[in-house]
Amino acid sequence: MQKIAVLTSGGDAPGMNAAVRAAVRRAAYYGIQMYGVYHGYEGLMYGDIQEMTLGSVGDIIHRGGTILYSARSEEFKTETGQQKAIDQLNRRGIEGLIVIGGDGSFRGAQKISEKGIRTIGVPGTIDNDIPCTDFTIGFDTALNTVVDAIDKIRDTATSHERTYIIEVMGRDAGDLALWAGLAAGAESILIPEVDNDMRDIVERLEAGHRRGKKHTIIIVAEGVGSASHYAEEIKKLTGLETRVTVLGHIQRGGSPTAFDRMLASRMGAAAVDLLLEGKRDRMVGIRNNEIVDVDFQEALSQKHHLDLSIYQLARTLSI
Amino acid sequence: MQKIAVLTSGGDAPGMNAAVRAAVRRAAYYGIQMYGVYHGYEGLMYGDIQEMTLGSVGDIIHRGGTILYSARSEEFKTETGQQKAIDQLNRRGIEGLIVIGGDGSFRGAQKISEKGIRTIGVPGTIDNDIPCTDFTIGFDTALNTVVDAIDKIRDTATSHERTYIIEVMGRDAGDLALWAGLAAGAESILIPEVDNDMRDIVERLEAGHRRGKKHTIIIVAEGVGSASHYAEEIKKLTGLETRVTVLGHIQRGGSPTAFDRMLASRMGAAAVDLLLEGKRDRMVGIRNNEIVDVDFQEALSQKHHLDLSIYQLARTLSI
Amino acid sequence: MQKIAVLTSGGDAPGMNAAVRAAVRRAAYYGIQMYGVYHGYEGLMYGDIQEMTLGSVGDIIHRGGTILYSARSEEFKTETGQQKAIDQLNRRGIEGLIVIGGDGSFRGAQKISEKGIRTIGVPGTIDNDIPCTDFTIGFDTALNTVVDAIDKIRDTATSHERTYIIEVMGRDAGDLALWAGLAAGAESILIPEVDNDMRDIVERLEAGHRRGKKHTIIIVAEGVGSASHYAEEIKKLTGLETRVTVLGHIQRGGSPTAFDRMLASRMGAAAVDLLLEGKRDRMVGIRNNEIVDVDFQEALSQKHHLDLSIYQLARTLSI
Amino acid sequence: MQKIAVLTSGGDAPGMNAAVRAAVRRAAYYGIQMYGVYHGYEGLMYGDIQEMTLGSVGDIIHRGGTILYSARSEEFKTETGQQKAIDQLNRRGIEGLIVIGGDGSFRGAQKISEKGIRTIGVPGTIDNDIPCTDFTIGFDTALNTVVDAIDKIRDTATSHERTYIIEVMGRDAGDLALWAGLAAGAESILIPEVDNDMRDIVERLEAGHRRGKKHTIIIVAEGVGSASHYAEEIKKLTGLETRVTVLGHIQRGGSPTAFDRMLASRMGAAAVDLLLEGKRDRMVGIRNNEIVDVDFQEALSQKHHLDLSIYQLARTLSI
């Protein structure tokens, strides 16, 4: 294997650049030529591909977003689109492809692999919703962004003694909401992995008020519905006016934390190592602090697992 | 004058604690007893008032929110409510009151003053919408919070080559939106002080695209309407899908910046000085880097002025 | 067990407050009375001990330092001192003690345990130098502080094309230096766990220069000597002038990261659980993302282990 | 005037990139061709000069350091060196030069001006030590960096009840130390503009201890000597052990604050405007929130003025 390529796909996540840097430098270390594919699978189909050198990835380890850009591509979901991508890689003699992204991106990588190019996936998404890995690149940064935002909102919640409902990202996974809620000391955390009973929420709210707690913060994972919905429900059940904040796209950006840079560096390098070992169709992961790799099929057929003991802990600590 | 009191009122702003600290310490320096009124005018009416010492304000200069809490009070708008407040102050022999807040809070302070207690106002609001002062306490912190949020959103806007519309606070004033937009390099800034022509916005958007700009950030001051409204207008006129983020209450919190701590320290101390000089019915301000004081009547009858040359500059730099 | 106490000891670390909060709330959840011991073992000997309620730990999860204070005590190292401590606990009917600190603090806890009070240790130190736990409370925050500092220094290193040597904490452990060096993309990392050959350092420096790299950042763990020493050695061997920065005490402070708040919350709660299970003489740890507990004797007799594969990775990525 | 150039010189400061961006975009707005000179006067002598377009300054407004690099040049201090620089500019038909830097850089700009090329200076330095301007680009960012560092150190100072001495930059000016000391609530601030009597420092320290203050933070401007020196003096006079931190080069880096981006944008644009108005030999400044321009001769012959009322305020508030 003399030439490999790397692309980023799906929602961007802080640390993707650190992963690209690690892949490029690891390849250079082994004397392999690395190519950067711009704009994800769309760019792959249309040959938006350039050679990358050590200099291409200088001074990017600390930058949010992705220097390779990301894009959605409907065309790539078709047989014709996939063949175009293969042709572009073959034309350049590129034998391996590293795909940094989420589960949708890995399904694309499987297609490429079926058509003869070895692919390795690197989990990059703030949602932490990929099975077979404890963490995804970007999760820790998004988590700290959310916690920092809740800390700020608590300043004003405390000053005014009000109830705030904060909606955070995570798609179908509650990790971001749960971890942020525990780390920020939120009074209630609503996540898709558990049954979120409105009566329970209201009881906790009222128990807090009885104990003299005058401000309350409720975290809502986007996977359980909108914060506004819960604000209305609380209003209906208790008459209490709440304030709603939807954190939105700030959660995707920012300079990656040390943890995400480490994770991305380890995973980006490991992806190159796997290609050199002749592996394919596999996703890099981290389990128990060790870098592992699992078959795409296995990873994509499983469900992401949220540690419910954390949820129980959050409940006992937010009394 | 042997006893004075301080309260915070209206929306909280980062730096209010630094102002309280400065007032307490300046008073202590002159051997004056300071009282803290908790929960704004509501607490004033009901005697939620405690003596403050040097220790009461230790380790608070860097904290967001207000240790004195803030609250709205309908009752205080009545003659009866105001008399209750006066009684509470008289009962304790408190002859002067410092009110940290916005224009609504100053109107309350005027009422107190009319009834015989000397009042001095300190402008604390993130909106920078108070006349007769170049800056209000909290504005610089909110500004940096907004700029930091836009920087984060730009990471993802750049990666995905999309258009984002970001709604920021400011009530009827465009300062926060304008300054943040210039400082973050936004492509368009919509503020209440100018005519925001949809055709102009769309033309700038399209001109940018023609020049190869693939991501665009548009800042909308809440005073001109909601970000969603503008997203729909753009969709109608151009077919372009945009992403909307409403920054919300994170803008009120956070540790105050150095500038806000300085401003708050200077203003809080000046308020005590003014009371000792026998002044009343005045608001502290900063003009041309100097601490000044102006009559409440004058301050409240004027309109806050936004520097339009900044707006023109922003337009020439965002081409 | 009806009454337990908690103290912080040794160097403070961000997240200690989150651990105290978790311990207090977990105890309250089980209906156990928690006492806070102020000023570490010194305060324990002299009865600086107060009951803690849910309110005692409100609004502290995000604060650096320790609300219980920390102190060194020579007297506690004596038999007499230890007996004083035991007497204070017995007098109040306190049957269990949670000690948050480093290895020195745990040796103290062992002494208490020998004299009949059950003790549980929680590893809190920015150095990550405690055996039998993957992470200590405070390490992730210090790591991000160091990485942020290196990012700032790189701005100026890049602008001036100079070589900077940055000394970071860690006592005899290289974790902080290694992780920060990798996460910040440092060119060389000097840690006590490996042989740091001056010729190798100089060769890497010169190889970088030959490849056109004009600025270089070298991280020195305090465990291998001072940054100034290495600056002099480099000067001697190459004539190159370098700039030295000793990061110092900023590394101990700051609001804890989400990771440290999570870790501290889990560990603080687990310490209470262990006491309730009748355990003693054990340290809480985290291994492979699971909370574990190990015997003090075992923990203190082992050596902290640094993952050398991270070191190798850093070398291949900093070419 | 059809062609102008811009360079950065001397110590780098956050916001320099925002100034370069503003100059390039303002020039583009007027249809003027802008050139970037790399590596300061050294690059000017040797023709390290490139055309800049709107794209050259995309995505840099928030970056620390300077994309044009900075360097010292002994040769440029000679007549021959200066003539080389003039030749490079003449060869390209460049008629005006914007120099972003400190007073040393402006002396260089005067030389260029004497030889026939119009020069305009923009004050960029974290030290705020330039006369005729209230603020220099980079000061506000450095100030916030220092305040953030002191906040962190206070966490640990509070936990351990110790005395810390922190040395900050500023060359011969005390602005950074004074403003940071006030904003962070330091107990003592030592600056070159006042007489720093050791007895006074010790008395304040001891008075604080008598009042129960157990931790103390003393800020030392580099212009009055080293923090270590003061630590020794305090040891000699009181026997008290203190901890010393020299903040060092982190003070030069970091993403510029909103204020610095605003200031830099206004100043960079103004420099282009002045050249177009036919002005020369002048420095841009900000006085009372208005952009002004003053003759180099006037600016360089005056002394920077520190507002001593701030110093007095700091003393009354740190009791």
Assigned token pair, C197: 């050959």
How far away is chain C from the Cα of A240, in angstroms, using its nearest Cα?
Answer: 23
Interface ipTM: 0.96
Of D69, D246, D253, the CB nearest to C152: D253
How far away is chain A from the Cα of B142, in angstroms, using its nearest Cα?
Answer: 11
Residues 6+ positions from D242 with CB-CB distance below 8 Å: D162, D163, D164, D165, D218, D231, D234, D235
CB contact under 8 A, D313 and B265: yes
Tell me which chain A residue has its CA closest to the CA of residue B155: A65
How far away is chain A from the Cα of B217, in angstroms, using its nearest Cα?
Answer: 12
What does the pLDDT look like over C233-248, one tens digit per residue? 999 999 999 999 999 9
Residue C80 CB neighbours (<10 A): 10
- Which three-class secondary structure state does DSSP give residue C188? strand
Confidence band for A22, pLDDT divided at 50, 70 and 90: very high
Looking at the predicted structure, is the pLDDT value of residue C222 above 80? yes
Can you list the domains of chain A with their CATH numbers?
A: 3-138+256-301 (3.40.50.450), 140-253 (3.40.50.460)
Residues 6+ positions from A280 with CB-CB distance below 8 Å: A96, A113, A118, A119, A120
Q: Is A11 labelled as part of a ligand binding site? A: yes
Tell me which chain B residue has its CA closest to the CA of residue A159: B69
What does the pLDDT look like over D244-271, one tens digit per residue? 999 999 999 999 999 999 999 999 999 9
Q: What string of H, E and C letters represents the secondary structure of B204-264? A: HHHHHHHCCCCCEEEEEEHHHCCHHHHHHHHHHHHCCCEEEEECHHHHHCCCCCHHHHHHH
* Mean pLDDT on A290-306: 93
A93 — contact with chain B (CB < 8 Å)?
no
Q: How many CB pairs under 8 A join A and B?
A: 112
What does the pLDDT look like over D23-72, one tens digit per residue? 999 999 999 999 999 999 999 999 999 999 999 999 999 999 999 999 98
Confidence band for C212, pLDDT divided at 50, 70 and 90: confident
Which helix (H) or strand (E) covers residue C164, if one does? Answer: strand C163-168
Q: With CA atoms as reference, report the closest residue to D245 among D209, D272, D220, D271.
A: D220
| Low-confidence winner among A46-50, A90-94, B206-210 (lowest mean pLDDT) | B206-210
What does the pLDDT look like over B155-168, one tens digit per residue? 999 898 899 999 99
C183 — contact with chain A (CB < 8 Å)?
yes
Residue A77 CB neighbours (<10 A): 14
Tell me if residue D48 is catalytic: no
D214 — contact with chain B (CB < 8 Å)?
no
Tell me what percent of the residues of chain D surpass a pLDDT of 90: 91
Question: Which residues of C line the annotated binding site for ATP?
Answer: 11, 72-73, 102-105
Q: What is the pLDDT of residue C210?
A: 86
Give B286's strand partners.
B291
Tell me which chain C residue has its CA closest to the CA of residue D156: C65
Task: Using CA atoms of A121, A125, A127, A133 in order, give the dihedral in degrees to the nearest 10.
Answer: 30
Q: What is the pLDDT of residue D215?
A: 87
Q: What is the pLDDT of residue D23?
A: 98
Confidence band for C72, pLDDT divided at 50, 70 and 90: confident
What does the pLDDT look like over A142-154, one tens digit per residue? 999 999 999 999 9
Assigned token pair, B212: 């190869």
Q: Is B104 labelled as part of a ligand binding site? A: yes
**Order of strands, edge to edge, in the sheet holding C96-101?**
C49-52, C33-37, C3-8, C96-101, C118-123, C282-287, C290-295
Chain-centroid distance of CA B232 in Å reads 30
What does the pLDDT look like over C257-296, one tens digit per residue? 999 999 999 999 999 999 999 999 999 999 999 999 999 9
CB contact under 8 A, C212 and A55: yes
Q: What is the pLDDT of residue C78?
A: 96
What does the pLDDT look like over B257-292, one tens digit per residue? 999 999 999 999 999 999 999 999 999 999 999 999
* Mean pLDDT on D99-127: 96
D231 — contact with chain C (CB < 8 Å)?
no
- Neighboring chains of A (3 or more beta-carbon pairs < 8 A): B, C
Q: What is the pLDDT of residue C74?
A: 94
Q: With CA atoms as reference, report the closest residue to D294 among D110, D153, D38, D115.
A: D110
Q: Which of residues 264-303 of C touch A (CB under 8 A)?
A: 265-266, 269, 287-289
Looking at the predicted structure, is the pLDDT value of residue A255 above 80? yes
- Which three-class secondary structure state does DSSP give residue A267? helix
Residue A216 with chain C: CB contacts under 8 Å: none
Contact C272, C27 (CB under 8 A): yes
Contact C112, C97 (CB under 8 A): yes
Residue B143 with chain D: CB contacts under 8 Å: 258-259
Q: How many angstroms separate the CA atoms of A271 and B64, rounded?
A: 44
A149 — contact with chain B (CB < 8 Å)?
yes
D70 — contact with chain C (CB < 8 Å)?
yes
Tell me which chain C residue has its CA closest to the CA of residue D245: C248
B105 — contact with chain A (CB < 8 Å)?
no
Q: How far is the first Cα of chain C from the last one, in angstroms, to the nearest whole number?
A: 58
* Mean pLDDT on A291-310: 94
How far away is chain B from the Cα of D16, in angstroms, using its nearest Cα?
Answer: 13
Q: Is A268 labelled as part of a ligand binding site? A: no
